[in-house]
Structure 1
Amino acid sequence: MKPQIDVVLGDITTQHVDVIVNAANPSLMGGGGVDGAIHRAAGPQLLEACKIVRQQQGELAPGHAVITIAGDLPAKAVIHAVGPIWEGGEHHEARSLEDAYLNCLRLAAANGYKTIAFPAISTGVYGFPKAAAAAIAVATVSDYLTRKPLPERVYFVCYDEENARLYQRLLTQRGQELDA
């Protein structure tokens, strides 16, 4: 069965999916970019849930992910994934980013969620090159979906047209490879 992956140009906080992924910082206390947008849209319940997780587990290392309630978001839950800070590519950044995507998919599946929406993890203030990050995201998600029944559908939600075109091109290329 071919993976069900779509690219969406838009705001991740408005996606009607089972779970959205937050490109979180290690403290889980909100921040800038998509993290701040998700916290603002979800309301204070999300911050309270993150505080509890942080008290129980401490800060999250790059590649790790945790799940919380979604607050006022249209999703059922939020998975907070910490991506790596780009340091030139010689510090296992690619592996950490792959782990972040895999851990999100595993958490979604473990909770029975069928749909998940991802932002472009680590490409904002963390500085991961967009093309490299997109290639890792597409390959990791595609490979996972060919082996596991859940989630059934994945959305890459891109805030700008450039990123949306990049993800779409990678998925098209990968589709051609899968068909060969």
Structure 2
Amino acid sequence: MNSIEISGSKLILLKGDIALEDSDAIVNAANNVLWMGSGVAGAIKKEGGQEIEEEAVSKGPIEIGEAILTGSGKLKSKSVIHAAVMGQDLSTNADTIKRALISSFEIAEQKGLNSLSIPAFGTGVGGFSINACADIMIRETIDFLQRTVILKLVRIILFSDSDLEVFKSRLEEIFSRKQ
């Protein structure tokens, strides 16, 4: 299972490059200073341009678990949400991932965004377990989509086939229990 419909909205799991997504916003798994070095942030900066990082840094630092919105430079998406999933020590945990995801959803709703593409938070540079990440992100996304009337499409963009399989398996297990 790689997609579900929830209260008129859709959650889709895909393998791909988040920097190439054309959603209203893509989400950057950021550090709290909002520097864009490697991983997802580096890919977004490389594709979209230095101006994304410059705008983000001018709005930081932010609290770990919070998020901010910037322009998208040369990206296909209309904007970038930078969610602080780690501090400068580059470590993260379940609570931080959950808070950063909820902050991203809240910004999307406040700005009237209809579609959002999100990477697996904290699983690259942050070293967080892909299994635990899948559990948190799928549960929180389903919960949010049951409440929102604005956000109509969430795509979780995974880096590898194995990450996609983990998320698909968790989606099937979690969604079947919620029905």
Same fold judged by TM-score > 0.5?
yes
Letter of the 1:8 partner, please give it.
L
- The aligned runs of 1:77-156 (5 Å cut-off) are 77-84=79-86, 86=91, 93-156=93-156
* Deviation at residue 72 of structure 1 after TM alignment: 0.5
**Post-superposition CA distance 1:148-169 (Å, at most 9, x none):** 1121110000010011111111
Between the two proteins, the alignment pairs up a number of residues equal to: 170
**Post-superposition CA distance 1:11-67 (Å, at most 9, x none):** 00111110000011122121111111111111122122113212xxxx222211000
Letter of the 1:63 partner, please give it.
G
Contact preservation (8 Å) 1:19, 1:75:
yes
Matched, 1:23 2:29: yes
Q: Distance in 2 between matches of 1:125 and 1:44?
A: 20
- Secondary structure, counterpart of 1:34 in structure 2: helix
- 1:60 aligns with one of 59, 62, 66: 62
Q: Distance in 2 between matches of 1:23 and 1:41?
A: 16
Structure 1 vs Structure 2 CA RMSD: 1.4
Q: Distance in 2 between matches of 1:142 and 1:45?
A: 33
Q: What corresponds to 1:166 in structure 2?
A: 166
Q: Distance in 2 between matches of 1:20 and 1:31?
A: 17
Structure 1 unpaired stretches of 5+: 88-92
Q: What corresponds to 1:176 in structure 2?
A: 176
Structure 1 segments (4+ residues) deviating >3 Å: 84-87
- 2:77 aligns with one of 72, 75, 78: 75
* Deviation at residue 129 of structure 1 after TM alignment: 0.9
* Deviation at residue 10 of structure 1 after TM alignment: 0.5
- Secondary structure, counterpart of 2:59 in structure 1: helix
Give TM-score, length-normalised by structure 1: 0.89
Q: Which has the higher strand share?
A: 2
Identity %: 28
**Post-superposition CA distance 1:65-115 (Å, at most 9, x none):** 00000011000000001114547xxxxx22211110000000001101000
- Secondary structure, counterpart of 1:29 in structure 2: coil
Give TM-score, length-normalised by structure 2: 0.89
